Amino acid sequence: MISPDFKADLRVFLQDSRDALLWKLDGLSEYDIRRPMTPTGTNLLGLVKHLAGAEAFYFGTVFGRPVDGPRLWIAGDAEPNADLWATPDETREQIVGDYRRICAHSDATIEALPLDAVGRMPDEGGHELTLHRTLVHMTYETSRHAGHADVVRELIDGAVGQRAGGTNMAPGNASWWAQHRDRVEQAVKEAERLNSGANSAPSGARGTARPATKDPR
């Protein structure tokens, strides 16, 4: 029987999402990695900057192992959305380099501490977080933003895939995908005809949330 190694499992999935995020920048111009692709300004380099700040906060500040990184607006350390886009003087090399450096610092924190180690949020309540919960949160957080990057990259140049070594996409050429999209569109119209008057679900918010204090339902 295989003995479970929860820390190792979480680290594998966290690193996979880190790698996928950075891969989405490969082959793109400065303009394309920076440009806002949604009405709320979502952009590839901003996602990397944001996650660099999140790793520095959760694996650094929370566990008393500070490391320099982008300040998070949601933590009250910067103006709204400051960590979600790159200023003209911030280079690709700087932001990606900072992310790699901070991830290495995070890995050192994870390696040094047991999963039941307790960190403390730097807020008035001083809420406590175990390393286990923090690892789960950052694995979720990074995967979520890697998913944003998937969509943004496809909008930029049509490139898709889960990782460089395996796309995880159905086989098909451009013509097949165009037909698939038309089929989905026709299904939408038919569903609208059958379900006219139904309310749509509210959209979610973007950004780094604090780890849930209770199990989400």
DSSP code string of 166-195:
B-------HHHHHHHHHHHHHHHHHHHHHT
* Reported confidence tier of residue 61, pLDDT bands at 50, 70, 90: very high
> Which residues lie closer than 8 Å to 143 by C-beta, 6 or more apart?
13, 17
DSSP state of 57: I
* Distance between CA atoms of residues 191 and 185, nearest Å: 10
**How distant is the alpha carbon of residue 197 from its chain centre?**
34
pLDDT at 213 over 80: no
Residue where the block lists tokens 């998913």: 147
| % of residues, the chain, pLDDT over 90 | 67
CA angle 205, 151, 215 (to 5 degrees): 40
- Structure tokens belonging to residue 8: 């190792």
pLDDT average, residue stretch 20-29: 96
pLDDT at 199 over 70: no
pTM of the model: 0.85
Work out the mean pLDDT of the chain and round it to a whole number.
89
What confidence score (pLDDT) does residue 205 get?
Answer: 52
* Distance between CA atoms of residues 155 and 149, nearest Å: 10
- Least-confidence region, from 92-101, 118-127, 151-160, 197-206: 197-206
- Concatenated DSSP letters for 86-115? --TTS-HHHHHHHHHHHHHHHHHHHHHS-T
Q: How many CA atoms, within 13 angstroms, populate the side-chain half-sphere of residue 179? A: 5
- Least-confidence region, from 75-79, 119-123, 183-187: 75-79
Helix (H, G, I), strand (E, B) or coil at 25: coil
C-beta separation of 37 from 163 below 8 A = no
